[in-house]
Amino acid sequence: MNVILGISAAPGIGIGPAFVLPEEKERIIPHHHIPKEDVAKEWKRFDDAVEVVQNEIKTHLAELDQENLQRVIFETYQLMLSDPVFLGEVKDALEQELFNIEHTLEIKVEEYAQRLRNSGNDYLAERSRDIEDVFGKVLNELLDFHPFDIEQVPDGVVIVAHAMKTSDTVILSKRKIAGLALTEGGVSSHVAILAKSFGIPAVVGLEDIAHQVASNDQLIIDGTLGEAIIQPDQQTLDEYHSKIREEQKYIQALQQFRDKPAQTNDGTRFYLYANIGTPEEAQIALEQGADGIGLFRTEFLFMSRAHNNTVSEETQFEAYKQVLQIMGDKPVTIRTLDAGGDKLLSSKDIPQLNEKNPLMGLRAIRLSLFYPQVLRTQLRALYRASVYGNLRIMLPLITDLAQIDTIRGIARGVQMSLREDNIPFREDVPIGIMIETAAAALTADCLAPHSDFFSLGTNDLTQYTLGVDRENPAVAPLYNEFHLAVLRMIKHTINSAREANIPLSVCGEMAGRKESAIILAGMGVRSLSMSPKQIPVIKETLSQFTISELTNISTRPLF
């Protein structure tokens, strides 16, 4: 028996025979000059390859239900393949550099994927795999290169691999997969998101797992603890089978909490909201008993345009309208674009930036203020959608009062233009801010009177406060949300919101974990926003305590 430690990507326990995905054969890309008269022929080959991949995606889409989250992935891939700006860049490079189309495409894809990897944003860094995946299929078609077919994976197995391509995740909805054991991949990857959605335990960060396990080896995946157990003995198997039975009973018991309000044992009311990244996830949030949407990340809209980030007002309006209509009168908090110039914004409106430290650079609200037309377009779409539900607008990475004042001025200008165009909108849409830096937390008492609400982004707050990159394995153990400095900043923010009489919620990962939700509740937080699947879990957790018990627990780590 061998136990390997990794990182939890999706909770739960899975037991089954291992199915080791074969390592991809090396794709050898030819690299040679072409005569100018061959450009048209090379471009025709590219067009034909794109058409083949588009048809494959259409086939996958036809097999998926409308509500299936994987539809969003494949629809995004369709947009990437037909994006005129990126295709124009590839064609320009082909005509100017006069290299074969395979080499030209490989270079352009890698340029863009590298910008995403250097973004300083977990979600967007993971999207680099999507770019490489979909255009990798085009390269395979150009080269007549046919790697392993994921459809060969049988029911009941634990998939073991160095990494899993996003397009291969279609198998997660087609087979009864017992678990995932991967070396690469993050908690923000599509693989992790879909594993959580389908209830498949997943562990990533398992060093060289594909070489430590053979197909048909018995494997236990503990997605809660982040462990893989290879060839467990009978006693361990019995223990884990017992844990699975207990887990199934627990999941069944959670059903009673879905339609109940979140409250403590003595009746103190809490509000549990959902974090989502696509309109389709709003329906899942509703089914899990969410009181609303606490964070709608709008980056997906810009990612769906891949290389052309001038997302139209109409496209944004339809997406926001859809979420608001799904949620009815429940509040929907939509965050303005949280991206950087090095990430995905490379258009005539926003020139490509090459920053040495993107995490500290021109990102989030700083970028929106530097290129205000992007913000104006987004605000117009948001205000237009506001008549369809209970909208709240949230501003990321605010560090200074002047930023709030400037944005409110831009919002007033947007409202004026809508009136002139005779377009209806709600004038009383609250505008709140994210508290996710030490600067914002320490001056929360100054920012509160100028904000309609606060949302604590504990992921970045912890990272910025401790100076720790949680994605860097060398320093990840230093990432500690319970560090005294982080907790005191959270407490000061809570007190500042209370004194200014404005709502406060927490939308970082702390909100969706039992142990940290207990601490936050005891510190005075009454609104928590999390992954939709965690809502019944946190409802059940809060119901086990009185408010005085939670308060007593939370005071211990603060002093």
Residues taking part in catalysis: 190, 507
Cα–Cα distance, 504 to 516 (Å, whole number): 16
* Start-to-end C-alpha separation, the chain: 43
Which regions of 169-251 does DSSP assign to beta strands (E)?
Answer: 179-182, 202-204, 218-222, 227-230
Cα–Cα distance, 86 to 310 (Å, whole number): 13
- DSSP run (H or E) holding 520: helix 514-523
Cα–Cα distance, 319 to 302 (Å, whole number): 12
Residue 184's nearest CA partner among 165, 211, 167 is 165
User: What backbone torsions phi and psi does residue 284 show, to the nearest 5 degrees?
Assistant: -65, -40
Cα–Cα distance, 266 to 481 (Å, whole number): 28
Residue 262 DSSP code? E
Any alpha helices (H) in 425-513, and if so which ranges?
438-442, 444-447, 458-466, 484-500
For residue 158, the SS3 value is: strand
148: left (phi over 0), alpha (psi -120 to 50) or beta: beta
Return the residue matching tokens 């097999």.
63
- Per the DSSP assignment, residues forming a β-bridge with 504 are 454
Cα–Cα distance, 159 to 198 (Å, whole number): 15
C-alpha 290, offset from chain centre = 18
Cα–Cα distance, 428 to 437 (Å, whole number): 27
10: left (phi over 0), alpha (psi -120 to 50) or beta: beta
Cα–Cα distance, 529 to 512 (Å, whole number): 7
Using an 8 Å Cβ cutoff, are 89 and 307 in contact?
yes
- Residue 519 C-beta-side C-alpha neighbours within 13 Å: 20
Q: Which two tokens stand for residue 81?
A: 């393949």
Sequence letter at residue 197 = S
User: Counting beta carbons within 10 angstroms of the beta carbon of residue 242, is it exposed (0 to 12), middle (13 to 18) or buried (19 or more)?
Assistant: exposed
For residue 390, the SS3 value is: strand
Length of the chain: 559
Q: What share of the chain is helix, strand, coil (3-state, %, to 5)?
A: 55, 15, 35
R_g (Cα) of the chain, nearest Å: 24
User: What backbone torsions phi and psi does residue 120 show, to the nearest 5 degrees?
Assistant: 80, 10
